[in-house]
Amino acid sequence: MDLYQELIIEHSKRPQHAGLRDPFDAEVHHVNPTCGDEVTLRVKVGESGELEDVSYDSIGCSISVASTSVLAEECIGHPLEEVFETYNAMRSMLTSKGADPGDEEVIGDGVAFSGVSQYPARVKCALLGWSAMLDALAQAGVDISATSHPASTSSTTA
């Protein structure tokens, strides 16, 4: 089936940059209560406003593990503005129900997840690590209002 691109299987079997590392500015634990997927994720913001490190421990389905792996690959070492742009593009594609095929220039291997948007039950799996990263950045004191993360547009969700 079209959902399980080779890239997704590869990332899920060999998650990149996996494991929790020091130092870090904030750590969050996010769960997907309907299926029991869990991710613990740490962020470290560098001196010059780049995302110096994202480290994580994730238990879950291939979609959630692979998506977090791609996140690490696409975001570690990048300026925060780029990280936000990647997040926005990824979220837009995943929640588009197929309308947005994803821009490889922006999200790299993330385009392998374009098929997920056809399966509403799995969108949450693919977004788990990304939401955790935004939450961790917010907890680290980073202004995330430039993102489409629900917490940045609503005053009631955290």
14 near other proteins, judged by CB under 8 A: no
- 99 to 158, contacts with other proteins by CB under 8 A? 119, 122, 125
38 near other proteins, judged by CB under 8 A: yes
30 near other proteins, judged by CB under 8 A: no
Query: How many CB atoms lie under 10 A from the CB of residue 46?
Result: 12
20 near other proteins, judged by CB under 8 A: no
25 near other proteins, judged by CB under 8 A: no
C-alpha–C-alpha distance, residues 21 and 57, integer Å: 10
**Closest to other proteins by CB, 3 or 151:** 3
Q: Classify residue 147 by its DSSP letter.
A: S
Q: Is 134 exposed, middle or buried (0-12, 13-18, 19+ CB in 10 A)?
A: buried
3 near other proteins, judged by CB under 8 A: yes
In the complex, the residues that contact other proteins under the rule CB under 8 A are 1, 3-4, 9, 13, 34-38, 59-63, 119, 122, 125
